[in-house]
Structure 1
Amino acid sequence: MKDVMLKIKGKQKSLEGEESVIELITEGKFYNKNGAYYLVYDESEISGMEGSTTTLKIQGQKVSMKRFGNNTSKLIFEKGKKHVSEYETMYGDMTMEVMTNDLDINISEAGKGSIDLSYRLNILDSLESNNHLTIDIM
């Protein structure tokens, strides 16, 4: 397991055109297990998910994101595929659909590189947004 710095930038745009951007620099852990890369980091106040831990599993051209803590979710990103999952919050559970439009993974064995993904998120057929997430591993 290796200590790394992560620069995470998330951009969310609603169908009405409202845009929000979150940028976060945080410490994380990087490791390789059974042919997959893993990134683990704690969420902060900035992301609105303080008290949660995020684990990214990067395997081939697929990224799985699991969050545990105050908010629990599992999202799967695969270019051109739609995945449905549950999002558990202290206010109740919701069904989410994630359609990944683009996914670019460039990570070395040394734990340096980036993940760049664009996806459409639909929660309960009522909240829909286009999202872009970039994670730089330093």
Structure 2
Amino acid sequence: MTAPSFFDAIGGEPTFRRLVARFYEGVAEDPLLRPMYPEQDLGPAADRLTLFLMQYWGGPNTYSSTRGHPRLRMRHAPFKVDPASRDAWLKHMRDAVDSLELPPEQHDELWNYLERAAYFMVNSME
């Protein structure tokens, strides 16, 4: 018997939807991050992030089948992602991850990935 994917182990789609909903609650009120989302409604951005994270962690490949390869740096290139915006993103994502109340090992695995990804996205030191 194979071990469940991380996606399944933490509760599947409902867990990722809660994570992303909580994250975007913070983004919606953040004066630094909110302008980076040109759409009036954050729903489409939330859906994209949810689908990406679910696929990354072993869930359905809906993200790639509808949007192609993630190409994260390329998709974020039009936006100035500096250390201040990275830190704001991490603040809201930390709150979201903590809100899931996952067991420590799963919490740390998820958080470590998100933290590395945030640092990787920085494209401006201005």
TM-score w.r.t. the length of structure 2 is: 0.31
Which structure carries more helix by proportion?
A: 2
Which structure carries more strand by proportion?
A: 1
Between the two structures, name the one with larger relative contact order (CA 8 Å, sep ≥ 6).
2
TM-score w.r.t. the length of structure 1 is: 0.30
